[in-house]
Amino acid sequence: MERDNQKHHPQAAHAAHSPHADGVEFATFATREDFSRIQKRKGTYLPHWTAEGAVYHVTFRLHDSLPESARMSLMHERERILAEIGRPNCPMTRYEKDQLLFLHSLRIDRCLDAGHGSCWLKNESIAEMVANALRFFDGDRYSLFAWCVMPNHVHAVVQPADGRELAAILHSWKSYTANQANRMLGRSGKFWQQEYFDRVLRDETEFLDGIEYVFANPDRAGLPDWKWRWRREIGG
């Protein structure tokens, strides 16, 4: 991975944008007008909401990290959610729609924490390579506030820099690490699941909660001594 010569800085949002915990600046979304500035992008399976200056909690996972029964159950649940929030006369607000998808993501996290699949990220060399890839462009293409490399999935709290798109950052992480991991494992083929989950952290409370959620993931999964995690110290 090669660094850009030009330094990028966190992008200025058109939504409410001001210093928060320890002077970190990011867009917040509290009013109907703020939410109108969040754009919807259609992913392969999930919708993605993006906004200038936003901080995101993102999750991506190994391709075999969910058993078929769990995958089918979650897929049907997702289809019901997307059908409901996609109705033209849907009475839910953007916030309520986001909450539905967030609760769906928590169900996925609980399944992932059970440690299904090949769990290639348990391999110390591969976990270190993925962690290094996450950190490589920190302060350049994006700002990282927390990350955790679990045995079969990865969490990060990240803010794209000015002119950078979240989708491109995820593609870079996944493409590079998949190629490197396959080489290290002496295998070929699919490594990561194609789709990823992302959520806009709308205010300082969600920002701080998101950092703590990512850092504490190993503890919730029964891995208290797990070392492949990091968080920026914020708020004292």
The two beta strands, 47-50 and 142-149, are unpaired
- Domain ranges within the chain, ordered by starting residue: 16-231
Q: Which of 75, 77, 29 is nearest to 49 (CA)?
A: 29
- What pTM does this model have? 0.73
Q: For residues 126, 161, 172 and 158, what is the CA-based torsion angle, rounded to 10 degrees?
A: 40
- pLDDT for 225: 94
- pLDDT for 98: 62
The two beta strands, 142-149 and 153-160, are antiparallel
Q: What is the pLDDT of residues 150-200, one digit of tens each?
A: 999 999 999 999 999 999 999 999 999 999 999 999 999 999 998 888 988
Mean pLDDT of the chain: 79
Q: Please state, in angstroms and rounded to a whole number, the distance separating the CA atoms of residues 21 and 39.
A: 25
Q: Please state, in angstroms and rounded to a whole number, the distance separating the CA atoms of residues 18 and 41.
A: 25
Most trustworthy range by pLDDT among 9-23, 66-80, 183-197: 183-197
Q: What is the pLDDT of residues 85-136, one digit of tens each?
A: 567 776 656 655 565 555 556 667 777 888 889 999 999 999 999 999 999 9
Could you tell me the CATH superfamily of domain 16-231?
Transposase IS200-like (3.30.70.1290)
Task: Report the alpha-carbon angle 71-75-77, nearest 5.
Answer: 120
**For the chain, what is the HEC assignment?**
CCCCCCCCCECCCCCEEEECHHHCEEEECCCHHHHHCCEEEECCCCEEEECCCCEEEEEEEECCCCCHHHHHHHHHHHHHHHHHHCCCCCCCCHHHHHHHHHHHHHHHHHHHHCCCCCCHHHCHHHHHHHHHHHHHCECCCEEEEEEEECCCEEEEEEEEECCCCHHHHHHHHHHHHHHHHHHHHCCCCCCECCCCEEEEECCHHHHHHHHHHHHCHHHHCCCCCCCCEEECCCCC
Kindly tell me the burial class for residue 87, based on how many C-beta atoms sit within 10 Å of its own C-beta (0-12, 13-18, 19 or more).
Answer: exposed
